[in-house]
Amino acid sequence: MKSVDQLEAPADSVSQAVLSELTVKEPPIWTPSGLRNRLRVVCSFLVVLTLLVATLQFLLSRNGMNDPDIWWHLRNAEYLFQHHQLPHADSYSFTVAGQPWMNHEWLSEVPYYVAWTIAGLVGIKTLSIIIIQLIFLGVLWLAYRESGNFKASVLACALSTFLATVSFGPRTILFGYLYLVVLLLIVQRFRQRGDAPLWVIPPLFCLWINTHGSWSLGLIVFGTIAAAGFLKHFTWGRLQSEPWSPTQKRKLLITGIASVAALFVNPFSYRLVFYPFDLAFRQKLNIAHVAEWVSVDFHNLRGKLVLLLLITLLLGALLRNVRWTLAELGLVLFALYSGLTYTRFLFLLAILVAPIVAKILDFAPPFRPEADTPLLNAVVIALMIGSMLYYWPKSAMLQKSVDETYPTEALPYLKAHPPQGRVLTHYLWGGYLDWNDRNLRVFIDSRVDIFEYAGVLQDYLEVLGLKKSNEILDKYKIQYVFFPPDEPLTYILEHDPAWKIIYSDKVSVLLQRTHAPFTNATNK
Q: What is the pLDDT of residue 419?
A: 93
The number of distinct structural domains making up the chain is 2
Burial level of 85, CB count in 10 A (0-12/13-18/19+)? exposed
- Judgement on whether residues 425 and 367 belong to the same structural domain of the protein: no
Establish if 268 belongs to a structural domain: yes
Terminal CA-CA length for the chain? 70
Give the percent of the chain with pLDDT over 90: 72
Distances (CA, A) of 133 to 137, 389, 449: 6, 14, 31
E strand intervals along 220-360: 235-236, 239-240, 324-325
Within this chain, do residues 303 and 417 fall inside the same structural domain, yes or no?
no
* Boundary of a domain, candidates 335, 350, 383: 383
Count the alpha carbons within 13 Å of 97 in the hemisphere toward its beta carbon. 15
Are 134 and 204 within one domain?
A: yes
Say yes or no: 203 and 302 in one domain: yes
Distance separating alpha carbons of residues 470 and 17, to the nearest angstrom: 75
Beta-carbon count within 10 A of 314 CB: 10
- Determine contact, residues 109/73, Cβ cutoff 8 Å: yes
Which whole number is the average pLDDT over 476-485?
A: 95
| Residue 167 · residue 344 · CB < 8 Å | yes
- What CA–CA distance (Å, rounded) separates 433 from 456? 18
Range of the domain at 421: 406-513
Pick from 350, 383, 416: which residue ends a domain?
Answer: 383
CA distances from 477 to 25, 98, 482, 522 (A): 85, 18, 14, 9
411 shares its domain with 375: no
Q: Is the pLDDT of residue 451 over 80?
A: yes
- 371, 423: one domain: no
Domain final position from 324, 351, 383 = 383
Same domain, yes or no, for 354 and 434? no
How many whole angstroms from its chain centre is CA 169? 7
At residue 241, the pLDDT reads 87
Q: Among 11-15, 273-277, 290-294, 436-440, where is mean pLDDT lowest?
A: 11-15
Query: Are residues 245 and 153 part of one domain?
Result: yes
| Residue 314, domain member (yes or no) | yes
The answer to whether position 503 is within a domain reads yes
pLDDT range class, residue 37, cuts 50, 70, 90: low
Percent of the chain's residues with pLDDT above 70: 91
Q: Is residue 23 part of a domain?
A: no
pLDDT at 116: 97
The Cα–Cα gap between 429 and 433 comes to 6
Residue closest to 464 by CA, chosen among 494, 434, 440, 484: 484
Q: Are residues 359 and 411 in the same domain?
A: no
- Is 487 a member of any domain? yes
Average pLDDT over residues 124-135: 96
Instruction: Indicate whether 378 and 418 sit together in one domain.
Output: no
Does residue 439 share a domain with residue 379?
no
**Residue 185 and residue 196: Cα distance in Å, rounded?**
9
The reply to whether 273 falls in a domain is yes
Is 246 found in the same domain as 124? yes
Report strand pairing: 478-483 vs 509-513.
antiparallel
Mean pLDDT over the full length of the chain: 89
| β pairing state of 509-513 and 499-504 | antiparallel
- 211 pLDDT more than 50: yes
Q: Give a yes or no: residue 470 inside a domain.
A: yes
Give a yes or no: residue 392 inside a domain: no
CB of 443 closer than 8 Å to CB of 422 = yes
CA angle 120, 427, 395 (to 5 degrees): 20
